[in-house]
Chain A
Amino acid sequence: MAIFTADDKRLPLAEAAAIVHDNMIIAIGGGLSWREPIALLRELIRQGRRNLHVIGTAHGIDVDLLCGAGAVHIVEESYVGFEHDFGMAPNFRRACESGSVQMRDTCCYTLIQQLRAAEFGVPFLPMRSIQGTDFLRLHPEYKTMTCPFTGLPLVLVPALVPDVAIIHAQYGDAQGNLKILPPLVADLFFIRAARHVIATVEQLLPPDELRAMQPNVPYFWVEAIVEVPYGAHPTSCYPFYAYDRAHLAEYYRAAQAGPEIFRREYLARYVFEPATHDDYLERIGGVTKRRLLESWKEDDNAWRALFTAPEGAIA
């Protein structure tokens, strides 16, 4: 929504995270176990951000982690869970059931249309779906009307402007141009609708190298860019690394065991104790772990193995 024209937008992770304030609406890029900006979310937790309103489509550890750290007040996502891998999202579930987080479930297309309204600069968009469901009851801000052209009932969903979109891309340059590889999930919709965009990237490239890749986000939408290799860990970021299933299993066990154990065994160990991102990379298993997560490139058998190990870790 704003235009950012600085030539060099590189910032340290902590300064980029400071763009996010308490009570803001944040849109987190990626989805499920893919390309989520987890390094930046860990920094938000370290900085003690509170009362965030998170929006998105189908998400997983990103939203669950923020819920487990007490950083969230409202969750407006279409799904939060760990699919067939591990099941329901323990911290998210606990927070909704205790009332500390307000569940404001949305649906993928509803959210996309609300972001499009923001992107188009119009106050709302009409939809045919949602009618007959309880999402109308959950969202008093949706309105209904009779279509003046067809006489049929419609739902009007208001423009939804994220205060900050937080995106992890594969490539970028110092000016803020980005190349995000698919699945793009809702990232481009978030970027076009948001007031501020923070990008972390696996690699910062010279402009000529990035140009050759045909970037898909122009620099003027991006306010800050940070090079964070493994910035999506433990979610995947192909073509660099697959997701870290063993780490997710460890996360899940800690989250399932309750808030105290989660704080002690996960948040302390992986969010608060590592002083730098390099320390985090050592903590998760160093170069041995990184070689393993990059082994998907070798052949299909190596790739398959990353989805089966650790066998039997979760009942």
Chain B
Amino acid sequence: MSDSIISPSFSQRESEAITHATLPEVFIYQVARTIQDGEFVFHGYGSLVPTLAMLLARRTHAPHMVHVEGATYSINPTPPFLPPTSNDWVLVRGSMMALSIGDLFDIAARGDMGRMFLSGVQIDRYGNLNVTAIGAPDHPQIKLPGSGGGCNLSADAQHITIWTTGHRATIDRTGHRQFRFVRHIDFVSSVGHCTPDGTPRQAVGLRGGGPDWVVTELGVFDFDPATHVLRLRALYPDTTIQDVLDNTEFAPIIAPDVRTVPLPTPEHIALIRHFDPLRTHHREFRTADLSRYFNL
């Protein structure tokens, strides 16, 4: 992950009074740190966490990343606020021009997309994601909205950051625990490091490198290079290894040196609040996580 270099241009006054970070702000900072300077970076529609992470990275440690915006495909926009819908002229503001949908996916297909962000309603140990349907596809119990461009980009992008704000298992009406990180996913919408039967992605002819980081509200993960299985790397100041184990249906690998996530600086936090004055990103988080604060 990248070390941060703070842009000195941002108003110091706005950041001086900031003494704590919210969980969403710390989360967004972790996602931003997966972005390298000079990369071609794309976030999908309806993706407020990656949108803010990209805006933050571009204003701090990655001033030369190419930022292509979700549904409008506008290049390096500076939106005045973030609306709750993605195909809007608000998100075009400040960009010189936009790509066509064909151009954007062609760039990924020929191997030039550096990073993309994906999420899933079911996530397995290899980083395969399901956003298509729960249950059998020919008779779905729950029809999910669909994968957008995720299927193609999970194959083609050089790097993928997976993120989810729903790691903590919930209890359904029948008293069963509902896991987001599951042993078996019902539909592979986008590919991780291995197919569910354990075939490595290179063996099925894919070009991209697959997911390298996974950010959740419980911790930060990567994938063990030997087994390709999800591996815990860092926790928040208020989460434990036991929290991760209790809320993951399969057994993740625990790195020998699990650390505490680095916290954003007041300048980072001021930027996030500046980019999202409507706090639209709160819609991505559960209520309980919105009340998690960390002293700086």
For the complex, give the distance between the alpha carbons of A137 and B138 in Å. 10
Complex contact B87–A183 (CB within 8 A): yes
User: Are A108 and B101 touching (Cβ within 8 A)?
Assistant: yes
- Partner pick for B81 among A78, A239, A243, A304, CB 8 A cutoff: A304
A312 on the interface (CB 8 Å rule)?
A: no
Measured CB to CB, the residues of A under 8 A from B are 30-35, 57-58, 77-81, 83-85, 88-89, 92-93, 96-97, 99, 103, 105, 107-110, 112, 116, 127-135, 137-138, 152-154, 182-186, 188-189, 236, 238-239, 242-243, 300, 303-304, 307-308
> Is B101 a contact partner of A189 (Cβ separation < 8 A)?
yes
Q: Is B145 an interface residue (CB 8 A)?
A: yes
Taking a contact as CB atoms under 8 Å apart, the answer to whether B86 and A83 are in contact is yes
Which of the candidate stretches B15-23, B151-159, B234-242 sits at the interface with the other chain?
A: B151-159
Binary contact track B13-55/A, C-beta < 8 Å → 1, others 0: 0000000000000000000000000000000011010000000
Q: In the complex, which residues of chain A have a beta carbon less than 8 angstroms from the beta carbon of B85?
A: 32-34, 83-85, 243, 307
A108 proximity list for chain B (CB < 8 A): 101, 105, 148-149, 152
- On whether the beta carbons of A129 and B101 are closer than 8 Å, the reply is no
Q: Evaluate contact between A307 and B139: CB separation under 8 angstroms.
A: no
- Which residues does chain A contribute within 8 Å of B142, judged by CB atoms? 93, 97
Q: Which of B81, B84, B143, B188 contacts A97 (CB 8 A)?
A: B143
* B105 and A34 contacting across the interface, CB-CB below 8 Å: no
A57 contacts B137, CB within 8 Å? no
**Cβ A83 vs Cβ B205 within 8 A:** no
Task: Scan B197-217; emit 1 where CB is below 8 A from any A CB, else 0.
Answer: 001010011110000000000
Residues of A within 8 A of B150 (CB): 107
Which of B46, B89, B149 contacts A83 (CB under 8 A)? B46
Q: Which of B84, B132, B199 contacts A84 (CB 8 A)?
A: B84
A97–B87 Cα gap in the complex (Å)? 27
CB distance from B85 to the nearest CB of A (A): 4
Q: A32-B86, A32-B87, A236-B88 are in contact. Are A132 and B143 (CB under 8 A)?
A: no
Shortest beta-carbon contacts, A-B, top 6: A81-B145, A129-B155, A34-B87, A83-B46, A108-B149, A96-B143
Taking the nearest CB of chain B, how far is it from the CB of A281, in angstroms? 22
Give the segment of B174-182, B243-251, B256-264, B277-285 that binds chain A.
B277-285
When chains A and B are docked, how far (Å) is the Cα of A303 from the Cα of B91? 12
Given A84-B283, A183-B73 in contact, is the A133-B191 Cβ separation under 8 Å? yes
Q: How far in angstroms is the closest Cβ of chain A from B41? A: 17
Residue contact B145 to A132, C-beta cutoff 8 Å: no
Chain B residues whose CB sits within 8 angstroms of the CB of A236 once the complex forms: 87-89
Central interface residue in B46, B48, B283, by most chain A CB within 10 Å: B46
Q: Given A32-B71, A103-B143, A184-B100, do A133 and B46 touch, yes or no (CB 8 Å)?
A: no
CB pair A134–B149 under 8 Å, yes or no, is no
Chain A residues within 8 Å of B205, by CB: 128, 131, 152-154
Sample 13 A-B pairs with CB under 8 A, ordered by A number: A34-B71, A79-B145, A81-B46, A92-B143, A96-B133, A103-B143, A127-B109, A128-B156, A130-B152, A133-B190, A238-B89, A239-B89, A304-B277
Assess whether B275 is interfacial by the CB under 8 Å rule.
no
Check B72 against A183 for contact (C-beta < 8 Å).
yes
Contacting B151 at CB < 8 Å: which of A31, A57, A96, A110?
A110
**Complex Cα gap A218–B152 (Å):** 31
Once A131-B204, A183-B87 are accepted as A-B contacts, the answer to whether A58 and B278 lie under 8 Å apart by CB is: no
B255 at the interface (CB under 8 A from A): no
Which residue of B has the minimal Cβ distance to A129? Answer: B155
Asked if B278 and A33 sit within 8 Å, CB to CB, the answer is: no
A128 to B208, CA, bound (A): 10
Q: Are B84 and A307 in contact (CB-based, < 8 A)?
A: yes
In the assembled complex, B94 has its CB within 8 A of some CB on chain A: no
Kindly list chain B residues whose C-beta atoms are within 8 Å of the C-beta of A242: 88
Whether B102 lies near A112 (C-beta < 8 A) is: yes
Cα distance, A7 to B87, chains bound together (Å): 34
For B98-111 the 0/1 string (1 means CB < 8 A from A) is: 10111001001100
With A83-B85, A83-B86, A134-B132 as contacts: A57 and B204 at CB distance below 8 Å: no
Say whether A110 contacts B145, CB under 8 Å. no
Q: With a CB–CB cut-off of 8 A, which chain A residues contact B206?
A: 128-129, 131-132
- Indicate if the CB atoms of B46 and A103 lie closer than 8 Å: no
Near A by CB (< 8 A), chain B positions 46-92 give: 46, 48, 71-73, 80-81, 83-90, 92
Could you tell me if A109 and B71 are in contact, using CB atoms closer than 8 angstroms? Answer: no
Minimum CB–CB distance from B285 to chain A (whole Å) comes to 11
B293 within 8 A of A: no
A58:B71 contact, CB within 8 angstroms? yes
Say yes or no: is B5 at the interface (Cβ < 8 Å to chain A).
no
Q: How far is it, in angstroms, between the C-alpha of A134 and the C-alpha of B72 when the chains are bound?
A: 28
- The reply to whether A112 and B101 contact each other, CB–CB distance below 8 Å, is yes
Pick from B139, B147, B278: contact of A99, CB under 8 Å: B139
Is the Cβ of A78 less than 8 Å from the Cβ of B189?
Answer: no
From A34, A109, A135, A185, B149 is in contact (CB under 8 Å) with A109
Complex Cα distance, B207 from A31, in Å, reads 29
Q: Which of B72, B88, B148, B151 contacts A135 (CB 8 A)?
A: B151
For A31, the closest partner residue in chain B by CB is B87
Closest to A102 in B: B138
